A = this chain, B = another copy of it.
Amino acid sequence: MMKEFPELVEKANAAKEASRTTAVLSTEAKNRALGAIAAILAENKESVFAENRKDVAAARESGMKESLVDRLELDEKKMRGIVDGVHAIMALPDPVGRSDAAWVRPNGLRIMQVRVPFGLVGIIYESRPNVTVDTFALALKSGNAILLRGSRSAINTNKELVRLMKAGLASTDVPENAVALVESMDREAVDAMLKMKETIDLVIPRGGQGLINMVVQKCTIPVIETGVGNCHIFVDASADLEAAKRIIVNAKCQRPGVCNAMETLLVHKSLAETFLPEIIRLLQERGVEVRGCERTRRIAPEVKEATEQDWATEYLDLILAVKIVENVAEAIAHITRFSSGHSEAILSNDYANICRFTSEVDAAAVYVNASTRFTDGGEFGFGAEMGISTQKLHVRGPVGLKELTTSKYVIYGEGQVRQ
C-alpha cells in the first residue's frame, strides 16, 4: 500500500486548476506576473538570505561536502542572477498559440496545429535553490503551472522563495496556486508524486544521474530526462591543428564540471607522434590528468592507463581519456559504444569524413570544428533553458520555452462528416 500525502494531492489539484488559467493568459499578463516576481524577490532578498543561512548551517552541521554547500548557499551575486534570469525570461517570445503547421484538406477542413502548454509540470530537484525560481519562470512563460519538490537541505530557502513568489502573484492575473512546493520531506511523497498521472502532465528531474534514474524507474508520467554528457572530440588527420588545440583546451578546461565538457579525446593515428604529445602537454599545463590507451602510453609513457571504465565515465573534472584511432570509422564506433548522446565533435577538413560523422553519430548535438561547450540554451539562442535533454522523445538538446509546450490540432469545418 502506498502512503497517502494529503498535502501533495491538495497542492497538485490546486496547481492543475491554476494551470487552466495560466494556459490561456495573454503574454502581457504572464510578463506582468514575472515582473512582479522579479521585483518582490529583489526587494526581499534579505529574508531569503536569512532562511538560506538556516539551511546552510544545518547542512554544514550534518557534514555536507563544501562543494555541495556551495550549490546551496545564496549570496548577492547568485540572487542577482536569479532576478536577472526572470527578467531574461520576460524578454523571450511566448511560444503559446504559435502554429507549427496549417493546411486545408480536400474536403475543406482547415487543420491548424498550435502550441499549447502541457498543464502542470512537476520538478524533482536537488539542492540548488535557483531552480525554484528559474523553473517557475520558464513554466509560467510557457503557460504551465508547476509543482516543485526540492531537497530537504534547501527546504527553508525554497519555502521562502515560493512564499515570496506567491505574494508577488497576488496583484496579478496569475493564480497563486500556479506555483506550489511540496513540503513533505518523506521520500515516499516523491514516489506518490511520480504516479499522479491524472494530475501532473510532465515530470522533469533536475539533478545528478542517481536522481534521474530514480525518476525514470518509478515515474508513470512522461519524463524529460536531462543530463549526462560523456562527450567526445575526434581529431581527424586533416584537422586545422591550431584550431584543434584551442577547441580541445576549451572543451576540457573552460568549465570541466558541466555536461557539455569533453571527457574523451580521440586522435587519428597520423597525429599520434606530432600533435598528440603537444596537446597532452598543453592540457597537463592546465592541470588536466590524462589517461591514455596503450598506444598513447607508448608515446607519452607518463600518462596513466585508461580502462574500459574510463571510456564510460563522465568525469566532470580535469581528467581526460585519450585514445588513438585508425580512422573516422573507429572513432564513430567508439562514440557509438560509449557516448551518452549529448554532444560529439569532429575536427576535420575532410568533407567525406565530416559527412559520415554528422550522419552516423547519434547524439543531441554533433559539432564540426567547434567546441562541445556550445550545447546550451543560451548559446543556441533560446534564451533560458530547463536543461539539456539526452533522450529522444519530444526534445533533444536544450529544453527551452518551446519545448515546454505541446501541440493541439484545431480543426475548422462547415458541417463535414466522414465518408
Contacts and interface: CB of A to CB of B under 8 A. Distances in A.
A64 interface: no
Contact of A393 (B247, B371, B393): B393
Interface stretch (A111-119, A146-154, A285-293, A295-303): A111-119
A374 B109 contact: yes
A235 interface: no
Contact of A119 (B103, B118, B392): B392
Contact of A254 (B105, B119, B251, B417): B417
Contact of A408 (B363, B370, B371, B379): B363
A358 B116 CA distance: 11
A412 B363 contact: no
A397 interface: yes
Contacts of A358: 410
This chain's copy number in the assembly: 2
A121 to B, nearest CB: 11
A99 interface: no
A162 B360 CA distance: 27
Q: Main SS of the interface on chain A?
A: mixed
A97 to B, nearest CB: 9
A369 B246 contact: no
Contact of A370 (B224, B247, B379, B411): B411
A275 interface: no
Contacts of A20: 336, 360, 362
A345 to B, nearest CB: 9
B250 A365 contact: no
A369 B379 CA distance: 45
Nearest to A419: B254
Nearest to A250: B417
Given A224-B393, A392-B118, A369 B202 contact: no
Contacts of A367: 411, 413
A213 to B, nearest CB: 9
A367 B112 CA distance: 10
A294 to B, nearest CB: 27
A371 B416 contact: yes
Contact of A415 (B119, B201, B222, B370): B370
Given A360-B20, A374-B109, A406-B392, A368 B411 contact: yes
Contacts of A118: 392
Given A364-B408, A393-B406, A243 B415 contact: yes
Interface string A303-317: 000000000000000
Interface in A180-217: 197, 201-202, 216-217
Given A247-B417, A369-B414, 10 more contacts: A20-B362, A24-B359, A216-B220, A254-B417, A365-B409, A365-B410, A370-B415, A379-B418, A392-B406, A396-B408
Interface of A: 20, 23-24, 103, 105, 109, 111, 116, 118-119, 197, 201-202, 216-217, 220, 222-224, 240, 243, 246-247, 249-251, 254, 336, 358-360, 362-371, 373-375, 379-381, 391-394, 396-397, 406-418
7 contacts: A119-B392, A202-B393, A246-B417, A250-B418, A365-B411, A371-B416, A375-B409
